[in-house]
Amino acid sequence: MRRMGFSEAIDDALASAMAEDEKIVVFGEDVHTIRRNLLVRFGEERVRATPISESAFVGAAVAAAMAGLRPVVEVMLVDFIGTAMDALLNHAAKVDAFSGGKWSAPLVVRSACGGGYGDGGQHEQCLWGWLAHIPGLAVAVPSTPADAGGLMAAALRHPGPVVYLEHKLLSETWLEFLGKGGRKTVRFDVPAGGACGRVPARWTPIPIGKAAVVRDGADVSLLSVVVGVHRCLQAADALQRKGVSAEVLDIRTVSPLDAETIRESAGRTGRVVVVDEDYEGFGLSGEVAALLLESEFRGRFARVCTTGTIPYSRALEDATLPSTARIVEAVERLVR
């Protein structure tokens, strides 16, 4: 066992795969500085900075993947994916279906997501629900260094396109780059277990589409992803002291969604709270509710999500993103 930071684990898993598979190439804005450790090992042919031309380089990654390469294409922040959306929505996601299952575009789109450091509503979105809405795109959203490396290893072997999201509050490099900038005068509520942790000596892929029960409980199931998982674990501690036993489930990939594990946990506890840093409407929380109803779940349901555009003000932002206190309140309303 080794200990690694969140992004360190992703880059380590990526480097291990690149060492074994010459077809893996990395490109995107500023990768020569952001991924400088990969650049000095694999050279400029495989780690290459792009112009600020997302529709071109993501679109090119789709066809490059179809023609045999395995591109890991970096769109700095998932908020910027709007400019490249056509390549994902109408191309990467559809090659498999349009070719009758005879061709696919196995690329990985790597993007930083999420808030909690005061960057405002155009740089802190999650958007995993929006992306998972599109059939044909897998969406991986790890919450710990071990899962981050394992899911990157899996994404690099996946037969189709994967959007791989890296939360900035967990990533030591992104938080330093965008949030701290060398300052010691700012503080962020970084979940320690997500930012740094034990990772396996050798990376083995974590199956895409498999959730993990990260804490057992009997009274309520807290379902979440990424930073939300850590907020749920904190809430479960607080609830424990109040005599409520909470199970915590890390969904890990928004698409495909592990319906079986979700149904199993919900059936056992009879109460479900979905905690989602992504927008509340038409997203992960609604999808979970739908699959529970379809399975004749007759328990109680609540959700703690982000509603509306994320405000710049740190105080307003903290009130907008799901917090431990809001999760505890939601559970207390359900068990009352």
Partner 1 sequence: MDVDLWSLYRQMLRSRLVETEVIRLWDHGLISGEMHLGIGEEGVAAAVVSRMRDGDAMALDHRGTPALVMRGIDLVSLFKELLGRPDGLCAGRGGHMHLFSRELLAASSGIVGASGPAAAGFALAAKRLRPGCISVAFFGEGAMNEGMLMESLTLAAVWKLPVLFVCKDNQLSITTLSSTVTAGSLASRAASFGIPVAEADGADIEELCRAVDGVIDRIREGGGPAFLLARCVRPQGHFLGDQLARTARRPVREMARIAGPLVASALRLKGAPARQRASSAASILSLVRRAGALMSDAKADPVARTRRLLAGAAARLRVLETKAQEEVESAAQIALGEA
Q: How far is the CB of 12 from partner 1 (least distance, A)?
A: 10
Q: Which stretch binds partner 1 (CB under 8 A): 25-33, 101-109, 279-287, 292-300?
A: 25-33
Collapse the DSSP code of 306 into the 3-class scheme (helix H, G, I; strand E, B; otherwise coil) and give the result: strand
Query: Rounded to an integer, what distance in angstroms lies between the CA atom of residue 221 and that of residue 213?
Result: 10
Ramachandran bin of 143, using left for φ above 0, alpha for ψ from -120 to 50, beta for the remaining angles: alpha
Phi/psi for 171 (5° steps) reads -90, 115
Q: Which of 14, 47, 88, 156 contacts partner 1 by CB under 8 A?
A: 47
Q: What whole-number distance in Å separates Cα of residue 144 and Cα of residue 206?
A: 12
189 binds partner 1, rule: CB under 8 A: no
Using CA atoms, how far residue 226 sits from 100, 166, 207, 245, 254, in Å, is: 34, 9, 17, 21, 11
Taking the complex as a whole, the smallest distance from the CB of residue 83 to partner 1 amounts, in Å, to 7
Per rule CB under 8 A, is residue 18 in the interface with partner 1? Answer: yes
Q: Does 296 bind partner 1 (CB under 8 A)?
A: no
| Residue 316 touches partner 1, criterion: CB under 8 A | yes
319 CA to centre of own chain: 21
Of residues 102-131, which lie at the interface with partner 1 (CB under 8 A)? 117-123
Return the number of the residue (20 or 296) whose C-beta is nearest partner 1. 20
Amino acid sitting at position 157: R
| 80 binds partner 1 per the rule CB under 8 A | yes
Q: Is 123 a catalytic residue?
A: yes
- Could you give the CA distance from residue 143 to residue 194 in angstroms, rounded to a whole number? 6
Catalytic site residue from 123, 158, 167, 230: 123
- Enumerate binding residues for partner 1 (CB under 8 A): 15, 18-20, 29-30, 32-34, 36-47, 49-56, 79-80, 82-83, 117-123, 176-183, 185-187, 309, 311-316
Positions marked active-site: 123
